[in-house]
Every structure is written in structure tokens, then in C-alpha cells.
Chain A
Amino acid sequence: MTPFLTAFFSGTAQGAIYALVSLGLVLVWRSAGVVNFAQMGQAMFTTYIASQLIQHSYSYWSAFLIALISGAALGALVDLGLMRPLTSRKNSQLLNSQSMRTTIPVIASLGILGVLKALAGIFWAGEERGFPSPVAPNAIKIGDTSLAITGFDLFVIGVVFLTLVLTTIFFTKTGMGLAMRASALNPEVTRLSGIKVGSVRTLGWAISGIASSLAGLLVTPRTNLSPNTLDLLLIIGFTAAVVGGLSSLAGSVLGGFILGYVISFVNVYSAPENVFIAILAFLLLALFIRPQGILGSKEVRSV
């Protein structure tokens, strides 16, 4: 196996997971105008729930399903319990200033992240634990040469592909998906045409919760699970979303795969300790060359 193909295959599998994280971030950004820094904290929490269920001898798939449902519930809860009251309060003196309206939700999401991490530590002792995968992580062989891709990698790529197809169908073929796109584009007009913009927003948070829970379930068989393991995924997902365009769903997926290849090629051709610096350099480069992202539109970005 040449190093190039090794990097390519592992980049595809990693990129699929980054695409999910970045998709989750963009969903919330488009529907609520908030970058949710607690997103992978929520995913960490639901992955712990799945892990507990599996330890209590539930099957992998029922735990998988419950994790996704609790991901949706947690996302909706964050919106209803925190973000909606926060952004609807217009009379607050602090929120009157332009810059603080975008800053306060960021701080709130960091608060949620801190609370979720501490709760996970209290409930589940906080030590690193493994997480099972439904497919054995053995390299696939064709004849005698083993490929640099494992059965689990194929499983990840398959699940993500299925999710992306379902998301596309949801946004292009269903009324609810159309309502979400409309309210992201112009909330006032959408409200006038009789759509409950608030509920649509909560739905955006819930779908984002499902996408990030899925990312948590798919990444932890490789990285193990602890309150802090998914932090890195958030940073990579954010970079992917900015590279692809925070305002574009397709862009976020593209950005995820690009980041997957960048990280995997840096890992193979350079050294693992260069990864963080590569991410920072890549993010700054993207912001300088094309601040609205590859597929983003210029107007939507509020600078």
C-alpha cells in the first residue's frame, strides 16, 4: 500500500465524520445564527448514554438509536431552555450593542459545554473508556494485499453517506425542509406566510443534535470516550464549516472531507504533532483567501 493511498482512505473515513460535525454546526448557524460550541459536548454526553446502555447489555443498535434520539432531545432542549430566551430578550442593555448579540450566545454555549463535561465526570467517573464498533476494525484484503481501509471505515463512510442522502431528501423534497430553508433565508417573510419560525429553529437544533451524536458514535471506537475526547472534533468541524462556508450545507460537507484529507496527509507525510498547527494555518489561509467559504454566499456572513 502506498502512503498516498493510505492517506487517501483514512482521510475519506475521517473526513466523513468531520463532515457530520460541520453539518451540525452549519444547521444551527443557519437556523439560529449561533455557532454552538457545546455541540460536541452534547455528542459526548449521548455517546456516554449509549456506552452505559451497552454495558447494561442492551444491543449496539438499540443503544445507537437511543443515543440519536437523546441527541435530538438535548439539541431541542438547549434551544428551548437557553438560546431562545436569550436571543428573544431585546430590552437587555448588554444585548443592545451589535457585537454582543453574537458574543453572548457563544459564551452561553461554552457554559453548556462546561456543565455537560462536569456532569459526565460526575455520572460516569470521567475516566477514558472504549466504545464498541459493530464492524470489526480489520483491514480489508483483496487476495493477499491488505488495503489501508478497514471494515469499520467502510461502515462509517456508508452511514455518513446514508445520512447525507436523507438530509438532502429532507431539505429538497419535504415541506418541513423547505420551511427550514425559507426561514434561514428570510425569517420575517417566512413568518408572514404562516410558518412557525420558532419551531423550525428548534427543529434545526434537534437535527444538528442527531448529526453530532452520530459523529460521536462513529469516532469513539477509534479515539475512546472521555469528557474531553470530542473537543478536538469540534475545532476540526468548525474549521471545516468555515472552509466550506458557514452558510452552506453542501459547503460544510465538502469542508469536512477537505479537512479529513488535510489532516490525514499531514499525518502520513509529515508528523502527527504538526496537525494542530496545520489546522490553524489552514483556517487562517481560508479566512484570508475566501472568508465566506468555498460555497458560501457573501451577504450572509455578518462581518
Chain B
Amino acid sequence: MSKVKTYKVIGLRSTLLSLILFLFFILLSKQFEPYNQSQLANIAMLLIAVLSITLLTGASGQISLGQGAIMAVGGYSSALLVTRLGLSMWLAFILAIFISALFGLFLGLAAARLSGPYLAGTTLVMALAIPSIAVRFETFFSGDVGLSVDYGMPPEWLTNLVGEISIEEWSLYVVLPFTAVALFAVLNLLNTRTGRTWRAVRDNEVAAALAGINIGRTKVIVFVCASGLAGLAGALYGFRGLVAPSVYPTDLSLTLLTAAVIGGLRSIGGAIFGTFVIVFLPDLIEKVTKNFAIPETVGIYLPALTIGLLLLLTVILNPRGAAGALEHIRHKKKH
């Protein structure tokens, strides 16, 4: 499929692609009013979580229906570090990556023994149980009320540099560097030896083991990496205003999986496309249906219905998602 490239070429390409994504988001945000700027920030943070599914399911073949719960781990650890210990937001985000990765280590040790539906079910139970811990230990985690945290105000040097910026734009500026670095890391992981190892385990465990790959250890490493990413996404997601169980519901985990599948589980471009779809499609549907006399209840459930149908159609007609379809067309043209 792809030729083996030197690390230097891969590193250069990853840096370039991450920079392009960064600039693309900035330029796009300049065209938008504040509401869509905050939606763009949502995309930038959810993209990190969707990329964790690209690693987990797309590259190594392990399914997780509980990435939302790991986001909650990242969100709570960063929010507690800021509110209880008075750490800076930036340091808290970085520590959240390590705390979630540590959590992913324990999860991975259990998950490495499971596969397919067992793993799906167990992570789904986790998606439900973890946020309920916050309610159980109410004095520490503030229960259903949650912890209020935010991105704060843009610093003076930045406003001096680029002029007055809105709160929404500031949230995008906070998130984007993390998104770019996450993209860089994922690109590097997938295009080097590590990624090839993961794909070997995904495609045939026996063959991979015969080639000298430690299956169990590989699965645990994937879980650690994916959990670090999801935790970072959760921390950024929580700092929009509130870290509480209701911010990380089970549906969030399923939405992330939907984004990854619609775009294409095995493609990073697909992850970006899928994240745009799940964030902007509901707005688009609302805009279109406003012109028609549609009962309110239909309007509320129409986005969920569309996204559900989109997921089903993708799985039936084209399980490789939008990215797979694009590749198919390109392939046809060549012949």
C-alpha cells in the first residue's frame, strides 16, 4: 500500500500537516461569528477524542464505547488540579494527559484480555459507571453540581498582538495548539513502526505473534496512548464552563464513535471530516427545517435520526467511511 518512508520525511510531513490544520482553523474562524467560532473550538477538542478512536479501533482493532468516560477522567483531574491546588490551566491540561494515560494503563491491562463484543460491553458499562463515581463521592467531586472552570481571559500580550478577541475566539486559541500537537503525535505514531505493529495485531493476531510482536503489551500501549488523547480532549471540553457527570454522558462516547465511523475509521482525514459532520450537521438541519412548518418534537430528534441513519448507511454501504469512498473513486480513475 504505502512505501516505507524515513523518519525524517514522516516527521516533516506530520509537522506540515499539523501546521496546515492549525492555519485552516484560524482562517476559518475569521469568517465566522462568535457562535460558530465556539463550535469550531468544539470541533478542535472533540477531534482529539475522535483521533483516540482512530488509534484504538481503526489502527489496532479494539473497540471502545467508553471514550466519554475517559474524557471525564481527564476533565475531573484537570478541574480538580485547578480548583483545589490552584495550578495553572495549561499545566493542568498536560497533567490530565498523564493521569488519563495512567488510567488507560489499568483499563488496558483488563482490556487486553478482551476482544470484540466483550470489550464493547465492558467499556459501555464503564461509560455509565465512571461519571456516577462523581455522585458517589460527592464531597470530593461536587456531585451532580460539578466544578465550574473556564479558559479565563485572553492574556494582554495576545490582545496587544492581534487586537481585541472574543471569548469564543480565545477558547479556540487555547484548544488549537493541543489539537495540532495531538495530530502531529498521531500522524507520527501511525506512519512509523509503532503503527505497523498495531495494524499487524489488528489484522491477524496469530500472524503478528509469529512475527515477534507481543500482542498483550501492544494492546496495552494502544490503550495508554488513546486514553491520554481522550483525557486531554475531556479536559479541554470541561473547561468550556463545567465539569460534571452530565457533561460526559454515555451518548458522548457513542457520538465520538459515530464521527470516527462516518469519516472512516482508518483515516485521519476521515476523523477530521467526521468531527465536522457531528458538530455542524445538527446546526445545518436546524437551519433547513426552520423554513418548513415542522412540529417541535420532530425538530428536536431530527439531528439524532439523521446521524443514526448516516452511521447505518456508512456501515452497510461503505464501512470504510467517507475517506474510504474517496480512495475508491481515486483508485477507479487510475485504471
Q: Is A178 part of the binding interface, using a Cβ–Cβ cutoff of 8 Å? A: no
Select one of B116, B257, B311, B320 contacting A94, CB under 8 A: B320
- Interface CB pairs A-B, < 8 A, 30: A35-B117, A35-B121, A37-B121, A82-B312, A82-B316, A94-B319, A94-B324, A98-B202, A98-B204, A99-B116, A99-B205, A100-B202, A103-B116, A103-B120, A106-B116, A107-B315, A108-B312, A108-B316, A121-B297, A122-B297, A122-B305, A280-B125, A283-B125, A284-B122, A287-B113, A291-B114, A291-B118, A302-B115, A303-B115, A303-B118
Q: Is B308 an interface residue (CB 8 A)?
A: yes
Residue from the list A99, A122, A273 in contact with B298, Cβ < 8 A? A122
The binding surface of chain A is classed by DSSP as helix
Instruction: Report if A277-B125 is in contact (Cβ < 8 Å); known contacts: A106-B116, A111-B311, A114-B307.
Output: no
User: Is residue A193 contacting chain B, with contact meaning CB distance below 8 A?
Assistant: no
Contact residues of A with B, CB < 8 Å? 29, 34-35, 37, 82, 85-86, 92-100, 102-104, 106-108, 110-115, 117-119, 121-122, 125-126, 231-232, 235, 238-239, 242, 246, 271, 273-274, 276-277, 279-280, 283-284, 287-288, 291, 302-303
Interface residues of B in 171-218 (CB under 8 A from A): 202-205
Compute how far the CA of A246 lies from the CA of B116 in the bound complex, rounded to whole angstroms: 13
Q: A128 to nearest B CB, angstroms?
A: 14
- The residue in A110, A231, A273, A283 that gathers the most chain B C-beta atoms within 10 A of its C-beta is A110
Q: Note all chain A residues with C-beta closer than 8 A to B204.
A: 97-98
Question: Which of B124, B130, B135, B302 contacts A238 (CB under 8 A)?
Answer: B124
Q: Which A residues are CB-close (under 8 A) to B312? A: 82, 108, 111-112, 115
Shortest 8 CB-CB distances between A and B: which pairs?
A99-B61, A102-B116, A114-B308, A35-B117, A118-B305, A121-B301, A280-B129, A111-B312
Q: B133 touching A277 by the CB < 8 A rule?
A: yes
**Assembly CA distance A98 to B250 (angstroms):** 27
Give A95 Cβ to nearest chain B Cβ, in Å: 7
Known contacts A102-B115, A121-B300, A125-B297: does B315 contact A111 (CB below 8 Å)?
yes
**Segment 291-306 of B: residues with Cβ below 8 Å from A:** 297-298, 300-302, 304-305
Q: Which residues of A contact B132 (CB under 8 A)?
A: 273, 276-277
A127 to chain B, nearest CB (A): 9
Residues of A within 8 A of B92 (CB): none
Contact code string B214-244 (vs A, CB < 8 Å = 1, else 0) = 0000000000000000000000000000000
Cβ 8 A contact of B125, one of A92, A95, A279: A279
Given contacts A108-B316, A283-B125, whether A231 and B304 have CB atoms under 8 Å apart is no
Residues of A within 8 A of B266 (CB): 94
Taking A82-B316, A99-B62 as known contacts, 12 extra A-B pairs with beta carbons closer than 8 A to each other, sorted by chain A number, are A37-B124, A86-B316, A98-B61, A99-B116, A108-B316, A121-B301, A239-B125, A242-B118, A246-B117, A276-B132, A280-B130, A303-B114
Say whether B47 faces chain A, with CB atoms less than 8 Å apart.
Answer: no
A103 touches B61 (CB 8 A): yes
Also in contact, A277 and B129, with CB within 8 A (given A97-B204, A238-B121): yes
Nearest to B301 among chain A residues (CB) is A121
Q: What's the minimum C-beta distance from A108 to chain B, rounded to whole angstroms? A: 5
Which residue in chain B gives the minimum CB-CB distance to A124? B297
Bound form: Cα–Cα A246–B113 in Å: 16
- Interface assignment of B110: CB less than 8 Å from any CB of chain A: yes
Tell which of B61, B120, B302 touches A35, judged by Cβ atoms closer than 8 Å. Answer: B120
Min CB distance B310 to A, Å, is: 9
Q: Are the CB atoms of A277 and B136 closer together than 8 Å?
A: yes
Q: Does B42 contact A (CB under 8 A)?
A: no
A122 to B300, CA, bound (A): 8
Known contacts A108-B316, A279-B125; A231/B202 CB under 8 A: no
Contact of B320 among A93, A242, A283 (CB under 8 A): A93
- The reply on B126 being an interface residue by CB < 8 A is yes
B202 touches A122 (CB 8 A): no
B132 closest partner in A (C-beta): A276
Provide the bound-state CA to CA distance between A108 and B266, in Å.
17
Q: A99-B202, A108-B312, A277-B132 are in contact. Are A34 and B117 (CB under 8 A)?
A: yes
Within 8 A of A (CB), among B42-98: 57, 60-63, 65
Cβ contacts under 8 Å, B10 to chain A: none
Query: Closest approach, in angstroms, between the C-beta of A123 and any C-beta of chain B?
Result: 9
